[in-house]
Amino acid sequence: MTSLTGIWQVFGPDCQFANIQFFFVLSDFFFVQVWIFCYFCNMADIREEIVVADSLRDALEMQAQGFVTHALCECERCVSDALSVGYRLVDTAQAYANEEGVGNAWRKSGLKREDLFLVTKVWISNAGEERAARSIDESLRKLQTDYIDLLLIHQAYGDVFGTWRAMERAYRDGKVRAIGVSNFQAGRFFDFAHYVDVKPMVNQLQCNTLIQQTAIEPLLAQFGTRMMAWGPLGGQGVDGVVKSAELSAIGNNYGKSAAQVALRWLTQRGIVAIPKSTHKERMAQNLDVFDFRLTDSEMAQIATMNQHDTGTINFGDPQFVKHLIENYG
Ligand SMILES: NC(=O)c1ccc[n+]([C@@H]2O[C@H](COP(=O)([O-])OP(=O)(O)OC[C@H]3O[C@@H](n4cnc5c(N)ncnc54)[C@H](OP(=O)(O)O)[C@@H]3O)[C@@H](O)[C@H]2O)c1
């Protein structure tokens, strides 16, 4: 039934197609019909939101694309620009030390809280039930809100089960609308998801045309977990995605850039992308990916570009783990 609720949230009670809401109660079969209806009406933006909203267990509505604030020196200015060009999902983290900037930008934007989707993450130094619970209250204070739309465990280290219990409690208390994890690679993800009570609704992973994260997909599907892609354009100083001649050639068919093709490819896989940019025109460009559709053969062509399926960071490397624990644990 989640897909029905997802559709309901996308169309909502103010939907201009209110007469079709009647059909939603009949069966999930109508999900497919409405999707086809949208396809022929070229309502690409709405279609994408349906696909995304469908996955969240609590029928949470999530934008198909968001704006990440990692390492932004001018966080408040960048988030203000992002909101002004149309982003509504903003991704931050306790470790980015910019939750206040996100909260300020939202307050100054004049947007209603319900029109914004705020994502933040519990850092390793706040791992464990009590510390995580305190840190959630601190994040709420910094973000100047009384609920977080999606809260993630940032890294799979420290007392993650204790952290999760605090997150489950916050979820049940209404302080958080959805909970998930980040950087949980396949084995770690399975072990964690198997044992926890509320299953992770999202796993935020490094994912782009060169790092496709295909191996973990069946595991995520098994637990109904949606993938969110960080580094969707390859990250800072990496031109393999945004300067790809192959992606540019595909983009020429639609008057789009390589970056737009890369983001569109993620969206068509049902993955929520959170690109980052300090430039307003690029922010707008990165959001302008809902008026074209890659063909099956273009999707297959891009699938052949995969180079490191699980990402460029080995989260199991003892040196990496030691560094994180010694510095933040
Ligand atoms: N959960 C996590 O652990 C997590 C989550 C998010 C980020 N991160 C961290 O973030 C880093 C990479 O993420 P990211 O957010 O920087 O990656 P990204 O969104 O893939 O790439 C951002 C880079 O692409 C450029 N760019 C943006 N739009 C563009 C466009 N349309 N055309 C050409 N270039 C464009 C930006 O430059 P301009 O600013 O100049 O436009 C920036 O240098 C990693 O180091 C990772 O540690 C981690």
- The answer for residues whose C-beta is within 8 angstroms of residue 37's C-beta and 6 or more apart is 20
Does residue 10 or residue 43 have the better pLDDT?
43
- Res 142 pLDDT > 60: yes
Task: Report how far ligand 1's centroid is from the alpha carbon of 231 (Å).
Answer: 5
Distance between CA atoms of 294 and 314, rounded to whole angstroms?
31
Is residue 267 within 6 Å of ligand 1 at its C-beta?
A: no
For ligand 1, atom 46: residue with the closest CA = 231
Give 181 or 22, the one with higher predicted confidence. Answer: 181
Q: What is the mean pLDDT of residues 182-190?
A: 97
- Look at residue 36 in the predicted model and tell me its pLDDT: 54
Q: What is the pTM (predicted TM-score) of this model?
A: 0.86
Q: Which of 282, 289, 312, 328 to mutate to test the pocket of ligand 1 (most atoms within 8 A of CB)?
A: 282
In a domain, 55, yes or no: no
How many Å apart are CA 130 and CA 243, to the nearest integer?
Answer: 46
Domain annotation covers residue 165: yes
Binning pLDDT at 50, 70 and 90, where does residue 45 land? very low
Number of domains making up the chain: 1
For the Cβ of 183 lying below 6 angstroms from any atom of ligand 1, the answer is: yes
Residue 94 lies in a domain: yes
Distance 68 CA to ligand 1 centre (A): 8
Percentage of the chain modeled with pLDDT above 70: 81
What is the per-residue pLDDT for 33? 53
Ligand 1 mean position, distance from CA 306 (Å): 18
Residue 32 pLDDT exceeds 90: no
Query: What is the SS3 assignment for the chain?
Result: CHHHHHHHHHHCCCCCCHHHHHHHCCCCHHHHHHHHHHHHCCCHHHHHHHHHHHHCCCCCCCCCEEEECCCCCCHHHHHHHHHHHCCCEEECCHHHCCHHHHHHHHHHHCCCHHHCEEEEEECHHHCCHHHHHHHHHHHHHHHCCCCECEEEECCCCCCHHHHHHHHHHHHHCCCECCEEEECCCHHHHHHHHHHCCCCCCEEEEECCCCCCCCCCHHHHHHCCCEEEEECCCCCCCCCCCCCCHHHHHHHHCCCCCHHHHHHHHHHHCCCEECCCCCCHHHHHHHHCCCCCCCCHHHHHHHHCCCCCCCCCCCCCCHHHHHHHHHHHC
Paired with 229 in beta bridges are 205, 273
Q: Is residue 54 part of a domain?
A: no
Looking at every residue in the chain, the average pLDDT score rounds to 85
pLDDT exceeds cutoff 50 at 77? yes
Residue 285 belongs to a domain with what CATH number?
A: 3.20.20.100
Rounded to the nearest angstrom, the distance between the alpha carbon of 238 and the centre of ligand 1 is 9
Taking the C-alpha atoms of residue 99 and residue 90, their distance in angstroms, rounded to an integer, is 10
Q: Which has the higher per-residue pLDDT, 14 or 42?
A: 42
- What pLDDT does 43 receive? 47
Q: What is the per-residue pLDDT for 17?
A: 35
Beta partners for residue 68, in sequence order: 91
Atom of ligand 1 nearest to the CA of 242: 33
More confident residue, 283 or 15: 283
Chain segment 245-277, per-residue pLDDT in tens = 999 999 999 999 999 999 999 999 999 999 999
Alpha-carbon distance of 17 to 271, in angstroms, equals 26
47 within some domain = no
Residue of the CA atom closest to atom 29 of ligand 1: 282
- Return the amino acid letter for 280: K
Task: Indicate which residue's Cα is closest to atom 38 of ligand 1.
Answer: 277
User: How many Å lie between the centroid of ligand 1 and the Cα of residue 172?
Assistant: 33
What domain range includes position 261? 64-328
- What number does the ligand 1 atom closest to the CA of 232 have? 20
pLDDT tens digit sequence for 303-314: 999 999 999 888
Split at pLDDT 50, 70, 90, the class of 121 is: very high
Of the chain, the percentage scoring pLDDT greater than 90 comes to 72
Atom 26 in ligand 1: residue holding the nearest Cα: 277
Q: What is the pLDDT of residue 56?
A: 55
**C-beta of 235 in contact with ligand 1 (< 6 A):** yes
Q: Give the active site residues.
A: 96
pLDDT value at residue 6: 31
Q: How far is the CA of 230 from the centre of ligand 1 (A)?
A: 8
- Answer whether residue 292 is part of any domain: yes
Distance CA 233, CA 128 (A): 33
Residue 22 lies in a domain: no
Binding site membership of 280 for ligand 1 (Cβ less than 6 Å):
no
Nearest atom of ligand 1 to the alpha carbon of 282: 31
- Domain annotation covers residue 277: yes
